[in-house]
Amino acid sequence: MTLPELLKKTVEMHGSDLHITISTPPQVRVHGHLQRLEGPELAPSDTKALTYTVLTDSQKKRFEESLELDFSFGIKGLARFRCNMFNQRGAVAAVYRLIPEKIRTFQELGLPPVLAALAMSREGEQQTILQVYVSSISAHEYLLGKILAGMVTGLAQCALSMALMFALFGLRLAGDPTPLIAGSVVFVFCVVTFGVLVGSAIPNQAAAVQAVSLGGFLLSFLLSGLIFPIENIPTALRWISNLVQARYFIVIVRDAFLQGGGWPAVWWAVLAIGGIGLVFYALAWRTMRRMQVRV
């Protein structure tokens, strides 16, 4: 294989690095683990021939003088690569780090749906949201399109997490799984709707990030009972925990895996999350509707 072919193979395998060294075939690092490609072990002449194919004359001279070289290059339509060449056991060796040309979306990266919803604030900054305001699309249609897209990603993450917990850690449900399923759906709806609310109300990305960090993440960690028991939270702040959707989802998860009380024990928590989500949706719809009327 030529070096471009090896780099193409690295991309196809979703690898992060290509390792070229003697006494072993080329190796690709995938999710932190090296995988050998099919082929014979590389001799010193092989590693030098492969690595020199993308070097300019000046780069070859610099490497031969210092026995180490850092540079980057690109292959059109494939990706860019950063290379570190060095001398190993008296022979040329190199590691090529993949730098994708395409910037992945929030969904492709598997980031929380609330972060994807923050893209709405970008539309506000660039005024492209005005095209929606003056179109025939209703506020409900616009919001539901944003929310459903985020929910698909969020529910896929929940399903994958559950599968990993069952397969790798041997966890088992203590009772009826339907409260957990319903609770997960309304929790994802609530989280995504909060992001949509922030994005529609704050047309500035920096401010939106601060709002989500405070209202979405910080409160969920500190006032949900995940780290500190609700009883230990100062009385002046304890009432705020009643407005944190994560508090009720933790109750549902603990019951599903530990107590097994089912619907009689957690129906109120499912309704609480759904109620908070509907409040977020109503506020987001009111904001969008007011903007449409003004335009």
Tell me what the mean pLDDT of segment 225-239 comes to. 80
What does the radius of gyration of the chain's CA atoms come to, in whole angstroms?
A: 26
Question: 99-108, 183-192, 198-207, 225-234 — which is least confidently predicted?
Answer: 99-108
pTM of the predicted structure, to 2 decimals: 0.56
Give residue-wise pLDDT tens across range 4-55. Answer: 999 999 999 989 899 999 999 999 999 888 999 988 999 999 999 999 999 9
CATH class as words, domain 3-99: alpha beta
Start-to-end CA span in the chain (Å):
61
Average pLDDT, the chain: 82
Residues in the chain: 295
Of 135, 132, 153, residue with least CA distance to 143: 132
E strand spans, the chain: 17-20, 27-30, 33-36, 68-75, 79-88, 91-99
Predicted local distance difference test score (pLDDT) of residue 105: 46
Which residues of the chain form CATH 3.30.450.90?
Answer: 3-99
Angle at 67 between CA 65 and CA 68, to 5 degrees: 115
CB within 8 Å of 284: residues ≥ 6 apart: 143, 193, 196, 197, 200, 201
